[in-house]
Amino acid sequence: MKKKKINLAIIGFGNIGSYFYKTLNSQKRKIELKTNKNFVIKYVCAKNLKRKRKVKFPKKLWNNNPLSVCKMDDVDIIVELIGGAEGMAKKVVFSALKNKKHVITANKSLIAKYGDALSIIAEKNKVNLEYEASVAGGVPIIRSIKNGLVGNKMNKIYGILNGTTNYILSEMEKNDKDFFDVLNEAKKLGFAESNPTSDLNGNDAADKIRILSALAFNKTISKNKILTSGIQNINLNDIKHASGLGYKIKLLAISEIRNNKLIQRVHAALVPKKSYMANINGVLNAIIIDAKPVGRMVIQGEGAGPGPTTSSLISDLCSVLRGNIKYPFGISYKLRKKIDNFDIFKHISSSYIRIDVKDQSGVLSSITKSFAKNKISIKNLIQTPDKKSRKASIAIITHESFEKNFQNLIRNLYRNKYVINKPTFIRIEKV
């Protein structure tokens, strides 16, 4: 008996799209054997057929109207690889689900912003919405939460979710180079986009941790802005100071339940040199899950690039081909909780603060007064004068205090007449 073929449309044919297309063709038979289903790539949507591409596809597959493809009767699965939370990507995914097509997407900003609305449509229309590639590239973290660890109650999920910033921080440390030098190298090597803003300011990692939170804690995706800061303020001296004190600096994304409330944050953190997270270097991603009864689970792999992304896209495809409609977030939308946010001001940490000051008498007393006023006590202080420019840099490790106090302190310091620019504030994280 001939099996019904399942028809696929790939929408978006850049680096990822073309690598996915190529791999799908070479792995076709294997995928069909493993899923016991046959499929064909029916359409490829790309803006411009004539653009030079490493991978060629038969002209007859080409369609330049993605929205019409989403409505076609002979399409079962839409693979959206355009990217971005708005514009065509959004239209395509909403339209596909409304027209009862399964959707596979690598689009983290779309899922982080519209994942709940999309899951409602997918559930109503009994189609799958799969997005393994949207978080941590090839690392099958979403599938692991939904399937492999399904019997667990999660307490905390955190990790390194942005390869670009991790590459920059690792290279700065390894090669004694400054932020902008490494950033430029990263761009040349393809590890940073030409406009890397959302990587550098933490927004990319924030999208990802919001998706993981929703999955791990069976909750809706939080709409509120979460504490997000990036790595643009970090310079080589910070890395050296941290190193001298036994720490490395990493951009962490952290989500946890504390007193039945949710606390999500993305920020650079000092982590002990010997810790697992400190040793995740380059473009790698790594995630730690604390859960019961499994204990602590760690998973790491390549966080971006056509290969890892394609690995995840194919796992999504197999999930659709194998059948059985799955809840996009592991549990029906109706049953997903809304968890109150933990008051971030009540978060306690110790921290590293670097303050660039004019090298004048009275500076130190003025600075330390601010600390005392904000009830933050100092554990270590290193002052490095730069005689030539008549500036100095004061690096301080504090004892534990409330986030609120730190934020007030930074504001006070920034207003201090001796202080040259906004102090760099990096929380110390026990990981």
Question: By C-beta, is 13 or 425 nearer to its own copies?
Answer: 13
Give the shortest CB-23-to-its own copies separation in angstroms: 6
Question: By C-beta, is 293 or 362 nearer to its own copies?
Answer: 293
Give the shortest CB-274-to-its own copies separation in angstroms: 8
Give the shortest CB-33-to-its own copies separation in angstroms: 6
Give the shortest CB-317-to-its own copies separation in angstroms: 8
Residues 168 and 268: their CA atoms lie apart, in Å, by: 12
Give the shortest CB-116-to-its own copies separation in angstroms: 17
208 is catalytic: yes
Question: By C-beta, is 311 or 405 nearer to its own copies?
Answer: 311
Give the shortest CB-27-to-its own copies separation in angstroms: 6
Residues 153 and 176: their CA atoms lie apart, in Å, by: 42
Question: By C-beta, is 339 or 353 nearer to its own copies?
Answer: 339
Question: By C-beta, is 19 or 179 nearer to its own copies?
Answer: 19
Question: By C-beta, is 55 or 299 nearer to its own copies?
Answer: 299
Task: Tell me which residues touch its own copies (CB under 8 A).
Answer: 19, 23, 27, 31, 33-34, 132, 138-140, 143-144, 147-152, 276, 279, 291-302, 305-308, 310-315, 317-319, 322-324, 326-327, 330-332, 335
SS3 of the chain: CCCCEEEEEEECCCHHHHHHHHHHHHCHHHHHHHHCCEEEEEEEECCCCCCCCCCCCCHHHEECCHHHHCCCCCCCEEEECCCCCCHHHHHHHHHHHHCCCEEEECCHHHHHHHHHHHHHHHHHCCCCEECHHHCCCCCCHHHHHHHHCCCCEEEEEEEECCHHHHHHHHHHHHHCCCHHHHHHHHHHHCCCCCCCHHHHCCHHHHHHHHHHHHHHCCECCCCCCCEECCCCCCCHHHHHHHHHCCEEEEEEEEEEEECCEEEEEEEEEEEECCCCHHHCCCCEEEEEEEEECCEEEEEEEECCCHHHHHHHHHHHHHHHHHCCCCCCCCCCHHHCECCCECCHHHCEECEEEEEEEECCCCHHHHHHHHHHHCCCCEEEEEEEEECCCCEEEEEEEECCEEHHHHHHHHHHHHHCCCECCCCEEEEECCC
Give the shortest CB-285-to-its own copies separation in angstroms: 11
Question: By C-beta, is 247 or 333 nearer to its own copies?
Answer: 333
Residues 71 and 104: their CA atoms lie apart, in Å, by: 16
Q: Which of the residues 37, 42, 113, 208 is marked catalytic?
A: 208
Q: Which residues are catalytic?
A: 208
